[in-house]
Amino acid sequence: MSFTMSDEATMRDKEQLKLLNKLAETIDTTSSLEEAVNTLSKVMAQFQTNTGIQHVDEVISGRDSQNAERSMMLDPSMLSKYKMYFEAWLGIPIEQMAKKTGVSISSHPSKRRKPKGWLVYIPVCALETDKAVFISCIPEWEEEIREALCDASVVDAVPKLREYAKRSGVLVDDYHRFYGLEELGPQIDLSDAVLLDTHHFNQYWAFCSKVYPAMYTLITPDDQMVEDYNEMVSQKLHYCVIKGGEIVSMTSSERVAHKPTGIVNLGINTLNEHRRNGYATTTCAAFIVNAINQGLTPTWVCEFDNHISQLLAEKLGFRWLGNMYSISTLKESWDSSIPG
């Protein structure tokens, strides 16, 4: 079976027709009525969640068909939370960012505030995508930054911003790749994942001592550290893999400035001698499932040159949404007389 359309049809109509014919061809080759119904159900779900024609094409092509019962598609609520993240990071309404291209510079008084839990101020934040760079700064620096980035293109905006930071004598933070979850990767075995509990404290401490020897060898566990650990495991988010009685891989919740409520940044550490065994994939996938079940939205943030972390993110089902960049300062405080 096939469908046709007049020459006056719009490009979108033609794209939809192409998908319709592809869907018809797929259904014609299904081996059972149940398989045909499942294919149709997945396609309808994609249209209902407004994830777009391109992703529906992937469903029809079979790239999303494996392990469908565990596949968690990026739904509107997750998309809105990622938008909230960028709004909180930049102080710019997402509506102003949606269709812009090129370099956009704006100021926002919220950048005068020290992020909760941070020892430094972050007066400049930036988001770099493949089509645009958005820079948000304190009002006091806007004119200087505009001069420093005069006529800058998307390609050279961040390098020019880095040069400005060096001349200004503030701290330059290397930018990070930001990933949003599209779907949990198929066929990930979660059987080795263990939810961290209070009785794992000694194993947790031994693991951290191996991962961060410079810090943990200088301190001994006390009641406060046990209390902090118990508070962490009470979130019922963190997973590990235990081999031979010791933790060899463990997830964490990464600290990121200007992070809105409901977002959790997933981090992972694996002992060197236990890498390339799939433990990081297992623990991260368990973390993702549990976070979503708690109504949280997982993100992945990694250093720009950490290619192993980027590959793991993509394997887990994350997709790149942009590079995030910031400039920090140890300034004691901004002028309290200035509003904001």
Q: Give the pLDDT confidence of 281-292 residue by residue, as tens digits.
A: 999 999 999 998
Give me the pLDDT at residue 247, please: 97
Query: What tokens does 106 get?
Result: 């704006």
> Tokens 């509990």 label which residue?
197
Q: Within 10 Å of residue 151's Cβ, how many Cβ atoms? A: 7
Give me the pLDDT at residue 216, please: 80
Query: In the predicted model, is pLDDT for residue 340 greater than 60?
Result: no
Compare 190 and 1 and report the one with higher pLDDT: 190
Compare 258 and 26 and report the one with higher pLDDT: 258
> Which tens digit of pLDDT belongs to each residue from 203-234?
999 999 999 888 887 788 888 889 989 999 99
Backbone φ, ψ for residue 21 (5° rounding) = -65, -35
Give me the pLDDT at residue 36, please: 55
Q: Mean pLDDT over residues 48-74, rounded?
A: 36
* High-pLDDT (> 70) share of the chain, %: 74
Q: Whole-model pTM above 0.85? A: no
Query: In the predicted model, is pLDDT for residue 326 greater than 80?
Result: yes
**Where does the pLDDT of residue 274 fall: very low under 50, low under 70, confident under 90, or very high at 90 and above?**
very high
* Pair 128, 158: CB distance under 8 Å: yes
Distance CA 23, CA 260 (A): 40
Query: What tokens does 164 get?
Result: 């400005």
Compare 118 and 244 and report the one with higher pLDDT: 244
Q: For the CA atoms of 225, 228, 234, 235, what is the dihedral angle to 10 degrees?
A: -130
Mean pLDDT of the chain: 78
Compare 193 and 83 and report the one with higher pLDDT: 193
- The SS3 assignment for 63 reads coil
**Where does the pLDDT of residue 31 fall: very low under 50, low under 70, confident under 90, or very high at 90 and above?**
low
> Which tens digit of pLDDT belongs to each residue from 226-267?
998 999 999 899 999 999 999 999 999 887 788 888 899 999
Percent of the chain as helix, strand, coil, to the nearest 5: 45, 20, 35
Sequence ranges of the domains in the chain: 12-65, 76-177, 194-316
Assign domain 194-316 to a CATH class.
alpha beta
Among 99-113, 137-151, 236-250, whose mean pLDDT is lowest?
99-113
Query: In the predicted model, is pLDDT for residue 41 greater than 60?
Result: no
Query: In the predicted model, is pLDDT for residue 120 greater than 90?
Result: no
